Structures are given as structure tokens and as C-alpha cells.
């Protein structure tokens, strides 16, 4: 019988988390003088420190709850998430809904400040899909194609509403994160591989068809996206593929690559940042690290993220409970995609989307979401017991 009163803490994961938090606070403190004048006296590093402290308290609170209890809160949290996103969609209430940079993604409260429901829905979706997979597999022990398709329909049906609300804000980055979470959890849901390969093949054909159409008929695609209300997507693609021609949409990418390249091998040194990048404290914080500390400093940060994902994968594999493995896998999908996307968009590997770099970029809602996710992972690990002569084979 498992002892629920003791905690098996993953100190390696905690150390990686602490190092990333310290790197965030240090970088935010250093780059503040180079930010636009409107941010004078903002002290982002101090605010971020407070978010990290609040996140630490949140991790402690999450670990006090047996993660099996999350089953009971799943539909309540999912309902709150959908209602919050739908309120942003309709712009209600008018005095609370906040718009910034053309996106309606926040609630603005007098004392608390801004809250972004699109961040919290990521963890809520992980909890919801994991709950559905466990309940489905427990109910239908004998698998058939019909039952696998039923599970797939359930997962996609739960994912589509929040994805719809995010893409209409517009928040393309958040939409893609939810897609990454959904895809990663489908892969381990137990759905037979012939179905998954069919989906992957269909998705690959769709992507190739889109790229072909964009390459040979760019004006027609741009017109279609504009009529569909997705004109920002067209701008992201043109700014990514032809930044020198589309200087409006490609400006951020050009300055990001200039900053990263100017750091060379060892960087220019602390506070020595000559390339101006707007909103550098959020989505483009990796460029500040690369410019100051060069390839060496950037590699250290990338290594920390690699170790973070490695520890998450290890915990998911070691968990002797399917529900725990599903939870951690969804969180792996969330972190892995955001890290790859954020760094990739800074070096023209991927189109630029408004995604923060986990634990490094400034942001209250995003920071609390990441800390909540780590709290869930630590909770799963703390309640994973290893027994002598135990053989774990998951089907």
C-alpha cells in the first residue's frame, strides 16, 4: 500500500526550475534599461520574482493534493476555462476585457492586473484529456476500431472549443500549443497505430498542399486568409519567408537574428545590447541572452531546457499509474512545443508567433501556468513508488 504522507521530491527537476527562474530574473533586470521609455520604472524583474514566489506557493499547494483528486475537478475547471474564453470572444464584460496589440486575450482587473485565460486553458486541457482517456480505457477494455475512433472523437471534440476561441482572439501561438498537447496525448492514448498513421499522413499531405499553394499562389492564399479573418496568419508567413521584402511583418525577425548573430561565440558582455527589439522582455528574451552571452550562453539555456524535458519524460515513463503518465505527457507536449517554437522563431526556423519562452519570458499568467504544470509533474513523481522485482509493462 502506498504511503500518501511522504513525498518523493525530484530535486533534479527543482534545481533546473530554480536555475531557469534565476536566469529570468537576471535577464529581466539587465535588459530593463534598453526597453522603451513607456516601461520606465516597471521593474519587470521584481514583478517576475513575485510571480515565481507565488508559483512556488502554488506548486506546494498542488503537491498537497493527491493527483487522483483531479478527476473530481476536471469538468468544473474545463467549464471555467471555456466560459472565460467565451467571455473574451463576445467582449463581456466591457470594462474588464482588455485588448493589446490587436488581440483580445486578457481580463483587466483593478488590483490583480491582467489575467490571460488562454494560458491556464493549456493545463486545464491536459487534465481534461487525461481524465477522458483513463475513463474510456477503463470502460472499454476490449479495444475495437469503433471504440478507438470514439476516443479520438472525444479528445478532438474537447480540444476544438478552446482552440477555436484562441484562434479568433487571435492567438495563433496558443492555438498551436493546444494542438501540440492534443497530439502528444493522442499518441499515448492507446488508439491503434493504423489510425494514428492515417491521421499523420493526412496531416502531412495537408501541410504540403498548403505550402505548395502558398508558394505558387501566394496572393490567392493571402486573400482567402484575409476574408476568413486570419490575415495575421498571412502576415506571419510573409514576414517569415521574405523578411527583407515584407519589412513590416519581418522587422522583428530581422532584428532578432541580428541580435543573436552579433553575440557570436562568447557574447558582447552583460548589459551590452546594441540591437533594439521591441517587447524584448516577453517573447524575444532569448535574443537578449544570445546577444550578451553568445553561442555559449545560449547553449547553456538550451541545455537546461533539454534537461527539463528529459526529466519530464523520465517521470512520465516511471509513473506506475496511467493517469499520471497521461498528465505528464500532456505537459511535455506543452513545454516541448513552446520551447522549440520560441527559440525557432528567433532564428527563422519557424514563423513568429506570440509565444513566451517558458520560465524566462516575463508574464504573470504564463509563469503561474508553468509553475502549476511543474507542480502536477512533481505531484505525479512524489506518488510514484518503485518496488523491488517489479516489472512495468504498459499496454
pLDDT tens for the chain, 395 residues long, are 344 445 688 999 999 999 999 999 999 999 988 888 778 778 899 999 999 999 999 999 999 999 999 999 999 999 999 999 999 999 888 888 888 777 888 888 877 778 999 999 999 999 999 999 999 999 998 888 999 999 999 999 999 999 999 988 888 899 999 999 999 999 999 999 999 999 889 989 998 898 888 778 877 777 777 777 666 777 777 778 788 877 777 888 899 999 999 999 999 988 888 888 877 899 999 999 999 999 999 999 999 999 999 999 999 999 989 999 999 999 999 999 999 999 999 998 988 888 999 999 999 999 999 999 999 999 999 988 765 555 444 43
Contacts 24+ apart (CB under 8 A), 154-160: 155/129, 155/182, 155/185, 155/186, 155/189, 156/182, 158/78, 158/125, 158/128, 158/129, 158/132, 159/125, 159/129
pLDDT of residue 59: 96
Nearest to 262 by CA among 289, 294, 301: 294
pLDDT of residue 395: 39
Give the whole-angstrom CA distance, residue 64 versus residue 390.
Answer: 27
pLDDT of residue 7: 67
**DSSP assignments along 228-268, one per residue:** TT-HHHHHHHHHHH-TTTSHHHHHHHHHHHHHHHHHTTT-S
pLDDT of residue 229: 66
pTM value is 0.91
pLDDT of residue 393: 43
237 C-beta neighbours (distance < 10 Å), count = 21
Amino acid at each position: 500500500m502506498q504511503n500518501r504522507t511522504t513525498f518523493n521530491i525530484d530535486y533534479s527537476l527543482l534545481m533546473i526550475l530554480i536555475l531557469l527562474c534565476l536566469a529570468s530574473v537576471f535577464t529581466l533586470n539587465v535588459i530593463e534599461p534598453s526597453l522603451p521609455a513607456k516601461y520606465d520604472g516597471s521593474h519587470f524583474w521584481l514583478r517576475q520574482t513575485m510571480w515565481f514566489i507565488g508559483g512556488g506557493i502554488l506548486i506546494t499547494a498542488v503537491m498537497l493534493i493527491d493527483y487522483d483528486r483531479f478527476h473530481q475537478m476536471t469538468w468544473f475547471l474545463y467549464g471555467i476555462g471555456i466560459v472565460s474564453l467565451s467571455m473574451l470572444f463576445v467582449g463581456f464584460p466591457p470594462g474588464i476585457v482588455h485588448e493589446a496589440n490587436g488581440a483580445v486575450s486578457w481580463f483587466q482587473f483593478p488590483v490583480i492586473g491582467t489575467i490571460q485565460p488562454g494560458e491556464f486553458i493549456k493545463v486545464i486541457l491536459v487534465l481534461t484529456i487525461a481524465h477522458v482517456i483513463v475513463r474510456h480505457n477503463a470502460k472499454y477494455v476490449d479495444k475495437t476500431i469503433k471504440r478507438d475512433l470514439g476516443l479520438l472523437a472525444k479528445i478532438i471534440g474537447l480540444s476544438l472549443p478552446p482552440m477555436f476561441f484562441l484562434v479568433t482572439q487571435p492567438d495563433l501561438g496558443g492555438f498551436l500549443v493546444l494542438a501540440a498537447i492534443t497530439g502528444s496525448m493522442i499518441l499515448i492514448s492507446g488508439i491503434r497505430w493504423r489510425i494514428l498513421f492515417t491521421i499523420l499522413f493526412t496531416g502531412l499531405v495537408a501541410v504540403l498542399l498548403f505550402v505548395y499553394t502558398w508558394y505558387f499562389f501566394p496572393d490567392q492564399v493571402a486573400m482567402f486568409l484575409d476574408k476568413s479573418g486570419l490575415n495575421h496568419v498571412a502576415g506571419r508567413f510573409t514576414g517569415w519567408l521574405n523578411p527583407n521584402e515584407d519589412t513590416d511583418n519581418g522587422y522583428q525577425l530581422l532584428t532578432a537574428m541580428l541580435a543573436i548573430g552579433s553575440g557570436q561565440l562568447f557574447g558582447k558582455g552583460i548589459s551590452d545590447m546594441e540591437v533594439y527589439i521591441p517587447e524584448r522582455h516577453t517573447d524575444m528574451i532569448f535574443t537578449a541572452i544570445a546577444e550578451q552571452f553568445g553561442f555559449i550562453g545560449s547553449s547553456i539555456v538550451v541545455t537546461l531546457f533539454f534537461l527539463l524535458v528529459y526529466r519530464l519524460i523520465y517521470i512520465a515513463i516511471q509513473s506506475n499509474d496511467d493517469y499520471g503518465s497521461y498528465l505528464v505527457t500532456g505537459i511535455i507536449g506543452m513545454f516541448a512545443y513552446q520551447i522549440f517554437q520560441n527559440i525557432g522563431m528567433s532564428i527563422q526556423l519557424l514563423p513568429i508567433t506570440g509565444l513566451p519562452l517558458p520560465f524566462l519570458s516575463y508574464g504573470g499568467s504564463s509563469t503561474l501556468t508553468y509553475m502549476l504544470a511543474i507542480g502536477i509533474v512533481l505531484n505525479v513523481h512524489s506518488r510514484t513508488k518503485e518496488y523491488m522485482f517489479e516489472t512495468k509493462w504498459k499496454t
